[in-house]
Amino acid sequence: MASLYITEQGARLTRTHSRLIIEKEDKSLLQVPIIKIDNIVIFGRVSITIPVIELILNEGIPCVFLSINGRLKGTLEPVKSKNIILRYRQYEKAKNEQFRVMISRSIVYGKIRNQKRLIQRFANNHPEIDFASELQELDIMLKHLQLKNTISAIMGTEGQATAIYFRAYAKLFKGEIGFEQRTRHPPRNQVNALLSLGYTLLVSEYLSLISGAGFDPYLGFYHGISYGRPSLALDIVEELRHPVIDMLALELIGRQMLKKEDFTGDSTNGFFLSQEGKRTFFTQYEKRMNNEFQHPKTGVRTSIRKVMRDQVEILVKAVEENLPYEPFIIG
């Protein structure tokens, strides 16, 4: 799967036959055959012509619109799946508190297991740093989780576990760009800027996948109903946030692929990637999403994008056949 990212402010996306063209001030910046594109992400003030809209709808290519700073504004997608039966069952299951608790506990279990696995990797790669307390506390959270029988109680355990995880994560940033805690609106340091943008991209990809499968993306099982919030996409993204985006941010900062000069803003109004910083981020994000590895359970060669499609199928079966949801847990 290849994504086309358009960040040049004032640019215009047009087409010639089956080729997409990004132009600005009557100059062509890029031309790419539509056959090579599976997803389009537009940042800020970029215009798109009606012929392009017709083409991407016909080709079934979703287009995601973000603010210049990476906040999700909306999506342009083909007609949703005709699988009304799945949506009907989703609505039924959303009223079933026992099912919601079962799914939510599985989602959070996968998230905490991945948090613990990542900290174990940190400990192996950085023997000079003590992660013993965080690992012990996450073990306790996993035990507590199995006793939780309400959504609010599960959310409380998840919140505690995530605070423990980020305490360990913060120990890894020792250079000119540090990290103390997770902050969102706005992201108050450079690492948080990367996390926020990365999480938004993951959610937008899941938004397209679950819509294509036939789900209503705004009706979740773990995250409650909130106007305009894609709760189901937020549900299923939980287990992948840390293994995908947190590790990407750590690599970009740790290897100095992104430095302070690649960010704009301040701790009051928020930090955001510069134009050049976005190019680096998107390049490395695509590599991470498409890089193949051995699935820890099946042993089959896969990638994060393939895993995401698999997890949607697992969720479909959970809803249709009243089966447990099996989260993806890294090796």
201 pLDDT above the threshold of 80: yes
pLDDT of residue 165 exceeding 60: yes
Q: Which of 39 and 243 is assigned the larger pLDDT? A: 243
CA separation (Å) from 50 to 185, 237, 264? Answer: 34, 32, 33
Closest CA to 195 of 261, 121, 250: 250
* Helices 304-321 and 231-240, packing angle to 10 deg: 130
Global pTM? 0.89
- Let me know how many helices (H) and strands (E) the chain has, helices first: 10, 12
CA-CA-CA-CA torsion sign (322, 215, 41, 309): positive
pLDDT, tens digit, 9 for 90 and up, residues 26-76: 888 899 999 988 889 998 899 999 999 999 888 888 888 988 888 888 888
For the residues 237-254, what does the mean pLDDT come to? Answer: 96
For residue 1, pLDDT over 70 is answered with no
Is residue 206 scored above 90 in pLDDT? yes
> What is the rounded average pLDDT of the residues 308-323?
95
The amino acid sitting at 127 is: P
Sign of CA dihedral 97, 98, 103, 104: positive
Distances in Å between the Cα of 89 and the Cα atoms of 82, 92, 219, 311 are: 14, 5, 12, 18
What is the tens place of the pLDDT at every residue in 90-111? Answer: 999 999 999 999 999 999 999 9
For residue 146, the number of C-alpha atoms closer than 13 Å in the C-beta half-sphere is 6
Contact 113, 84 (CB under 8 A): no
Domains defined for the chain, CATH in brackets: 3-76 (3.100.10.20), 84-321 (1.20.120.920)
Confidence band of 119 (pLDDT split at 50, 70, 90): very high
